Structures are given as C-alpha cells and as structure tokens.
C-alpha cells in the first residue's frame, strides 16, 4: 500500500487495497428469514422403479423414478428454522430438509421439514416468531 512516508497516511490511489476491502465489505448477502442456520452436501438418488410392489408408472410419469437403478444427482440442505445463521444446532426447533434433484427434465425441489406446520399460510410469518397467531 502506498503511504506518505512509512507511517502513513494512505492515499486514494491504492486500487488493489480498495478492491480487496470493498469485496470484503460485501461478502454477505441477506440471511434467510427462516432456515438461516444450515449445512449441505451433494449426493445421488437411485430409483427403485417401483412404488412398494407396483411399477411407479402406474402413479407418476416423472422420469427420475421410472427405471430401477436410475441415478439422479442431488444437493441437500439441512437447517433449523427460526434461529439465526450462527445459532447453536442444539436448539429446540423443527429442522429443514430440502433436496434439489437435478433431473433430466430440469430441477425438482422437495422442500421439507422433520415436523409439521400451521395450516393457514397467513399464520406462517407470525407463527415462526412464536408470537400469537393471527385469527384470520
């Protein structure tokens, strides 16, 4: 860094420094409103070609399920729900379990939990903060 003498002050021409520090200042994006705390991994989904003892085609034409042994790449993100990005993973909370299947027809996201939900969408934003539910 260029400075006026080796004890400073610095001048505005230090483009590399400014670029580096400006990038650092922007390293974060808004945290998820819910499910902020999470971990993820890549993997593979392998189809059985059946649903129980019947051919899966009886119920769905989705290609990823049809052939026994067909492999589809996946990415999974696990999370807690209401707590922030660096909250303890030991807290009492439902856990998120979201899977992205990269299928030959495009992506399928199965966005689940390990537990159950309030039944009316209008309640969701307040329900997550554990305040009283709206009555509508």
Partner 1 sequence: MITFLFSPWGIPANYRMMQGSGVNTYKWVNAAGEGVLVKYHWEPLQGIKNLTQAQAEEVQGKNFNHATQDLYEAIERGEFPEWELCVQIMSDDEHPELDFDPLDDTKLWSPEQFPFLPVGKMTLNKNPENYFAEVEQAAFGTGVLVDGLEFSDDKMLQGRTFSYSDTQRHRVGSNYLQLPINAPKKHVATNQRDGQMTYKVDTVEGVNPHVNYEPSSLNGLKEAPKAGPDYEPEYHAKLVRQKIDRKNDFKQAGERFRMHEDWERDDLILNLVNTLAPAQKHIKEKMIEMFTQCDTEYGRRVAEGLKTASENITGGPIGSTKSGEAVVQAEEESTEANPY
Q: Identify the residue whose tokens are 């994006």.
A: 29
Q: Which is nearer to partner 1, 14 or 108 (CB)?
A: 108
Q: Which is nearer to partner 1, 16 or 107 (CB)?
A: 107
Q: Which is nearer to partner 1, 14 or 50 (CB)?
A: 50
Distance of CA 116 to the CA centre of its chain: 18
* Residue 121 Cβ vs partner 1, minimum distance, rounded to whole Å: 3
> Is 35 among the residues known to form the active site?
yes
* Residue 14 Cβ vs partner 1, minimum distance, rounded to whole Å: 26
- Length of the chain in residues, anyone? 136
Provide the 10 A C-beta neighbour count for residue 69: 8
Judged on CB neighbours under 10 Å (0-12, 13-18, 19+), 46 is exposed
Q: Which listed residue (42, 113, 114, 120) is catalytic?
A: 113
Residues labelled as active-site residues: 35, 113
């Amino acid at each position: 860094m260029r400075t006026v003498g080796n004890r400073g002050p610095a001048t505005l021409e230090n483009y590399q420094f400014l670029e580096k520090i400006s990038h650092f200042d922007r390293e974060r994006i808004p945290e998820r409103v819910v499910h902020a705390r999470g971990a993820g991994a890549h993997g593979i989904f392998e189809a059985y070609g059946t649903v129980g003892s019947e051919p899966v085609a009886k119920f769905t034409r989705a290609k990823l399920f049809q052939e026994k042994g067909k492999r589809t790449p996946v990415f999974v993100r696990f999370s807690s729900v209401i707590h922030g990005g660096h909250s303890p993973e030991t807290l009492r909370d439902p856990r998120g379990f979201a899977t992205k299947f990269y299928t030959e027809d495009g992506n399928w996201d199965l966005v689940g939990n390990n537990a159950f939900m309030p039944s009316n969408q209008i309640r969701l934003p307040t329900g997550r903060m554990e305040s009283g539910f709206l009555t509508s």
